[in-house]
């Protein structure tokens, strides 16, 4: 998407068309001739996987929307109708509900890969921030989608999340009423959530286009974190090299997706959502979907409601500031031994918070949550800025080609 | 390549898991026992419903559960060959034996009842005119049964919940129904159930030995009834299970072959790049 295209139209029609709308040239320069670092590993296939998941969610979602009724008295039954009566409706629904989980599964690999290899550093700050915006939009979309089947956990989840806004001083309750379209989560809420759940994915598509654009301007980061110096030596063409690798990665990923969809479709769904929402009954144990659990654990770890909500949003918002929180000039954790150690501590904190978020509140659980939350924020706010100043990094290779050659012929 | 000090991280991760596990254990001690896992014909990759068992389960539902519990599925589903597999004629006869309220009033504007057709839903039970009446009589409204097998859960605990991913265990609901039916272990307290959350259950013991006479010679014992009705309710909640697993098996075989071919292609393409 950057620089003049190297595309040469072959037929007369292609030349005619290209001089009027150079879209073929755009695709050619973005996905065929585009140079990709030759040392990329399989963690770099998650971009393609995520693009596929977004498309899959939109396709299955549009089909489901044709049969779904966004009405508080009919929504639950309409989902049951999709499961029983619509041809392959069960498949569409299980692909969609498990697809959301797979989408997050892939995005977490994608994000942790970015953090591990320092992909957010100059000149990719805007690329990274666009990614954080996509992540936020994904969470909002997934949350609203979870409300649509109008099960017990849908209602409980919608109530808990929208109630977060009541923590805002003075205007909080008014904001919550405005969000609900009433005095509690009800039919107006369900209606607007359906409208927004249909809208937001297309906003995600828009930001993804910007994300890919920014990527193709800055070029990809790579496991060695050194910029491309010599296109000839350091890179390979996107097609066929990156394409075949991405397609292979996607195919393996689809095996996992298919396993969940066809053999354990209920594994990630809360059984309480098979009971229709009833404002008079609250589930004994409210849990969000797994991909939001770490943030839920942070929320619950803090005794004060407003402080908890601030911490919850800060935990996400801080990610956008990573390019400036990390002060080290070296990108890849491969050459940063201390950073690598703390990175895995950070991963353990995130996974631990996720587990505790799924458990019922207990004194010991809250204590461990607090320790892990300190670990989460400590990594972002203390470790990252300090490491850049004190860490002794390993020598980085002069170029990508050098790094590849070292790997191909290890020192004898 | 990711290289990190496993010597430091692994103990840290292990310690964390053990703490988490200990928390889970400490919580489990003062609660009721988990329903024991049963073996089900519909468990696993090649699992499918046992037709005779579903028919027995339906008999239990019809003769016992249906007095209080609604089942909002159409009669025609009983002809599902992957499910109970009744013949179309049998389903027609069965539907006609129920009196169903017509959706529209007659010419005089009165609602009326007529014999059911396979397209009709099972009519609501006669025991209670509405939920409020049920709550007044029993303390709780009997839940609709069409999704009950998917709506029950218990803590699988660490590490079982990890293994469940690979063993394709999805039978929590069936285990739970079986356990509840067998959980009335205090004869002097009819509202006490070993496995019901909090032990206080509004439903009096529904099944006792001999309450249903099976036609195929299966002994009429509570464990048999419980197993059959739990299977039936699992089919009710997940009627597409067999089709799903069949398609899934083909999809996964296809994807494994495709992935292998793509891997070989990738190797060949990249051979000249290194």
Residues A278 and A298 in one domain: no
Q: How far apart are CA A64 and CA B155, in angstroms?
A: 31
Mind listing the pLDDT tens digit for each residue in B185-243? 998 988 999 999 889 999 999 999 999 999 999 999 999 999 999 999 999 999 999 99
Give the CATH fold of the B36-73+130-254 domain. Answer: Cytochrome Bc1 Complex; Chain D, domain 2 (1.10.760)
Q: Using a CB-CB distance cutoff of 8 angstroms, which residues of chain A are in contact with residue B26?
A: 362, 364
Mean pLDDT rounded to a whole number for chain B: 89
Six token digits for residue B265: 């292609």
Q: How far apart are CA B255 and CA B252, in angstroms?
A: 5
Q: What would the mean pLDDT of A43-58 be, rounded to a whole number?
A: 98
Six token digits for residue B234: 């699992």
The closest alpha carbon to A103, from A39, A139, A68, A54, belongs to A54
The closest alpha carbon to B57, from B159, B149, B194, B170, belongs to B149
Q: Which of B255, B261, B264, B265 to mutate to test the interface with A (most CBs of A within 10 A)?
A: B255
Would you call A303 helix, strand, or coil by DSSP? coil
Say whether pLDDT at A412 is over 90.
no
Contact B147 A116 (CB under 8 A): no
In A240-324, at which residue ranges do the beta strands (DSSP E only) sit?
none
Residues A68 and A187 in one domain: yes
User: Could you tell me if residue B139 is left (phi over 0), alpha (psi between -120 and 50 degrees) or otherwise beta?
Assistant: left
Mean pLDDT rounded to a whole number for chain A: 94
Question: Which of A256, A286, A316 lies at the terminal end of a domain, its last residue?
Answer: A286
Contact A91 B244 (CB under 8 A): yes
Q: What is the pLDDT of residue B19?
A: 57
Say whether pLDDT at A383 is over 70.
yes
Residues A151 and A130 in one domain: yes
A243 domain-assigned: yes
A255: contact with B, CB 8 A cutoff: yes
The closest alpha carbon to B273, from A220, A31, A224, A38, belongs to A38
Q: What is the pLDDT of residue A126?
A: 98
Mind listing the pLDDT tens digit for each residue in B111-158? 999 999 999 999 999 888 888 999 998 888 999 999 999 999 888 888
Q: Using a CB-CB distance cutoff of 8 angstroms, which residues of chain A are in contact with residue B27?
A: 359-360, 362
Residues A62 and A155 in one domain: yes
Touching B: A residues 147-186, CB under 8 Å: none
Confidence of residue B2 (pLDDT cuts 50, 70, 90): very low
The closest alpha carbon to B58, from B241, B236, B232, belongs to B232
Say whether pLDDT at B11 is over 70.
no
Bridge partner list, A284: none
Which residue is listed with tokens 């991280």? Answer: B9
Residues A240 and A126 in one domain: yes
Nearest-CB residue to B151 (from A94, A247, A274): A274
A340: contact with B, CB 8 A cutoff: yes
Distance of residue B97 Cα from the nearest chain A Cα, in angstroms: 24
Contact A223 B1 (CB under 8 A): yes
In percent, the amount of chain B with pLDDT more than 70 equals 88
Query: Do strands B113-115 and A35-37 pair parallel, antiparallel, or not at all (unpaired)?
Result: unpaired
Q: Using a CB-CB distance cutoff of 8 angstroms, which residues of chain B are in contact with residue A368?
A: 16, 19-20, 23
A215 domain-assigned: yes
Distance of residue B170 Cα from the nearest chain A Cα, in angstroms: 6
At A187, which CATH number? 1.20.810.10
A410 domain-assigned: no
A402 domain-assigned: no
Say whether pLDDT at A219 is over 50.
yes
Residues A299 and A366 in one domain: yes
The HSE-up count of residue A46 (CA atoms within 13 Å, CB side) is 17
Contact A258 B13 (CB under 8 A): no
Residues A282 and A371 in one domain: no
Q: How far apart are CA A150 and CA A163, in angstroms?
A: 18
Q: What is the pTM of this model?
A: 0.92
Helical segments of A164-186, H only: 172-180
Q: Which of A251, A253, A334, A363 to mutate to test the interface with B (most CBs of B within 10 A)?
A: A251
The closest alpha carbon to A76, from A261, A260, A278, A265, belongs to A278
Q: What is the pLDDT of residue B126?
A: 85
Chain A with chain B: Cβ pairs closer than 8 A: 137
Contact A241 B270 (CB under 8 A): yes
Q: What residues contact A301, with CB distance under 8 A and at least 6 apart?
A: A308, A311, A366, A369, A370, A373
Say whether pLDDT at A204 is over 70.
yes
A355: contact with B, CB 8 A cutoff: yes
Q: Using a CB-CB distance cutoff of 8 angstroms, which residues of chain B are in contact with residue A341?
A: 4-5, 8-9
Q: Using a CB-CB distance cutoff of 8 angstroms, which residues of chain B are in contact with residue A91?
A: 244, 247
Residues A15 and A149 in one domain: no
Contact B239 A84 (CB under 8 A): yes
- CA distance to A348, A351, B120, per residue, from B17 (Å): 10, 10, 52
- The H or E element containing residue B100 is strand B99-101
- The residue range of the domain holding A277 is 41-286
- DSSP annotation string for A47-58: HHHHHHHHHHHH
Say whether pLDDT at B254 is over 50.
yes
Q: What is the pLDDT of residue B235?
A: 97
Residues A124 and A141 in one domain: yes
Residues A347 and A230 in one domain: no
Bridge partner list, B100: B114
Q: Domain spans of chain B?
A: 36-73+130-254
Contact B23 A364 (CB under 8 A): yes
Q: Using a CB-CB distance cutoff of 8 angstroms, which residues of chain B are in contact with residue A80?
A: 146-147
Q: What is the pLDDT of residue A356?
A: 95
Distance of residue B205 Cα from the nearest chain A Cα, in angstroms: 23
Nearest-CB residue to A355 (from B12, B20, B164): B20
Distance of residue A318 Cα from the nearest chain B Cα, in angstroms: 24
Q: How far apart are CA A356 and CA A367, in angstroms?
A: 10
Contact A271 B168 (CB under 8 A): no
Q: How far apart are CA B202 and CA B191, in angstroms?
A: 6
Contact A255 B172 (CB under 8 A): no
CB atoms within 10 A of CB B132: 10
Contact B150 A271 (CB under 8 A): yes
Q: What is the pLDDT of residue B29?
A: 44
Q: What is the dihedral angle through the alpha carbons of A61, A67, A73, A77, rounded to the nearest 10 degrees?
A: -100
Helical segments of A19-88, H only: 23-31, 46-65, 75-84
Judge contact between A329 and A391, C-beta under 8 A. Answer: no
Six token digits for residue A384: 């990252």
Contact A341 B4 (CB under 8 A): yes
Say whether pLDDT at B50 is over 50.
yes
Contact A241 B26 (CB under 8 A): no
Judge contact between B12 and A345, C-beta under 8 A. Answer: yes
At A347, which CATH number? 1.10.287
Q: What is the pLDDT of residue B23?
A: 52
Q: Which of A87, A248, A332, A334 to mutate to test the interface with B (most CBs of B within 10 A)?
A: A248
Q: How far apart are CA A274 and CA B18, in angstroms?
A: 32
Which residue is listed with tokens 């080290």? Answer: A328
Residues A263 and A374 in one domain: no
A409: contact with B, CB 8 A cutoff: no
Give the distance from CA A344 to its chain's centroid: 19
Q: What is the pLDDT of residue B30?
A: 45
Q: What would the mean pLDDT of B93-116 be, rounded to a whole number?
A: 95
Residues A137 and A261 in one domain: yes
Nearest CA in chain A to B236: A84
Distance of residue A248 Cα from the nearest chain B Cα, in angstroms: 5
Which residue is listed with tokens 């013991």? Answer: B205
Say whether pLDDT at B16 is over 60.
no
Say whether pLDDT at A410 is over 90.
no
What total of structural domains would you count in chain A?
Answer: 3
């Amino acid at each position: 998407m950057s620089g003049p295209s190297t595309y040469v139209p072959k037929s007369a029609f292609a030349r005619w068309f290209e001089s009027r709308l150079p879209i073929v040239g755009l695709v050619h320069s973005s996905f065929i001739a585009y140079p990709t670092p030759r040392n990329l590993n399989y963690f770099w296939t998650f971009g393609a996987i995520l693009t596929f998941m977004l498309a899959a969610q939109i396709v299955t979602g549009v089909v489901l929307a044709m049969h779904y009724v966004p009405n508080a008295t009919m929504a639950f039954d309409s989902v049951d109708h999709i499961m029983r009566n619509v041809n392959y409706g069960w498949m569409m629904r299980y692909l969609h509900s498990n697809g959301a989980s797979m989408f997050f599964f892939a995005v977490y690999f994608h994000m942790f890969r970015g953090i591990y290899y320092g992909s957010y550093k100059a000149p990719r700050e805007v690329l990274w921030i666009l990614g954080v915006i996509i992540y936020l939009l994904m969470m909002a979309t997934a949350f609203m989608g979870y409300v649509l089947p109008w099960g017990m956990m849908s209602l409980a989840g919608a109530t808990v999340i929208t109630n977060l806004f009541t923590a805002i001083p003075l205007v909080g309750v008014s904001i919550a009423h405005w969000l609900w379209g009433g005095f509690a989560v009800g039919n107006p809420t369900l209606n607007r959530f359906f409208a927004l759940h249909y809208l937001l994915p297309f906003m995600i598509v828009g930001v993804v286009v910007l994300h890919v654009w920014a990527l193709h301007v800055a070029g990809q980061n790579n496991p060695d974190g050194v910029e491309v110096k010599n296109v000839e030596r350091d890179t390979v063409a996107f097609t066929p090299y990156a394409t075949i690798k991405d397609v292979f990665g996607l195919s393996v990923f689809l095996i996992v997706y298919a396993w969940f969809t066809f053999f354990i479709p209920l594994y990630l769904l809360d059984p309480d959502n098979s009971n229709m929402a009833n404002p008079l009954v609250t589930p004994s144990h409210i849990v969000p979907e797994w991909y939001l659990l770490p943030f839920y654990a942070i929320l619950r770890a803090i005794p004060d409601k407003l402080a908890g909500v601030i911490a919850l949003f800060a935990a996400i918002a801080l990610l956008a500031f990573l390019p400036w929180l990390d002060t080290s000039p070296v990108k890849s954790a491969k050459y940063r031994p201390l950073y690598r150690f703390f990175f895995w501590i950070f991963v353990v904190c995130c996974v631990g918070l996720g587990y505790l978020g799924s458990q019922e509140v207990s004194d010991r659980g809250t204590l461990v949550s607090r320790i892990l939350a300190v670990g989460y924020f400590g990594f972002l706010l203390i470790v990252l800025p300090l490491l850049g100043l004190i860490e002794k990094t390993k020598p980085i290779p002069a170029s990508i080609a050098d790094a590849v050659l070292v790997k191909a012929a290890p020192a004898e | 390549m990711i290289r990190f000090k496993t010597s430091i991280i692994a103990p840290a991760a292990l310690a964390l898991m053990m703490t988490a596990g200990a928390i889970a254990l400490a919580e489990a001690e003062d609660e009721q026992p988990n329903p024991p896992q049963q073996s089900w014909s519909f468990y696993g990759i090649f699992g499918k419903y046992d037709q005779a068992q579903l028919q027995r389960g339906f008999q239990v539902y019809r003769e016992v559960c249906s007095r209080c519990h609604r089942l909002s599925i159409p009669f025609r589903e009983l002809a599902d060959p992957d499910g109970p597999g009744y013949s179309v004629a049998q389903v027609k006869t069965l539907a006609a034996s129920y009196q169903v309220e017509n959706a529209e009033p007659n010419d005089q504007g009165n609602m009326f009842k007529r014999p059911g057709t396979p397209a009709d839903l099972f009519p609501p039970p006669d025991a209670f005119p509405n939920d409020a009446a049920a709550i007044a009589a029993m303390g709780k409204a009997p839940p609709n049964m069409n999704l009950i097998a998917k709506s029950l859960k218990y803590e699988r605990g660490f590490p079982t919940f990890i293994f469940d991913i690979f063993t394709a265990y999805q039978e929590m609901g069936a285990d739970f129904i079986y356990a509840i039916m067998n959980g009335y272990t205090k004869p002097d307290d009819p509202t006490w159930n070993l496995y019901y959350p909090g032990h206080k259950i509004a439903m009096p013991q529904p099944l006792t030995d001999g309450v249903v006479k099976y036609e195929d010679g299966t002994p009429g014992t509570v464990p048999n009834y419980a197993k059959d009705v739990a299977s039936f309710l699992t089919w009710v909640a997940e009627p597409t299970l067999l089709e799903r697993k069949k398609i899934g098996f083909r999809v996964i075989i296809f994807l494994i072959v495709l992935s292998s071919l793509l891997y070989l292609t990738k190797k060949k393409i990249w051979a000249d790049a290194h």
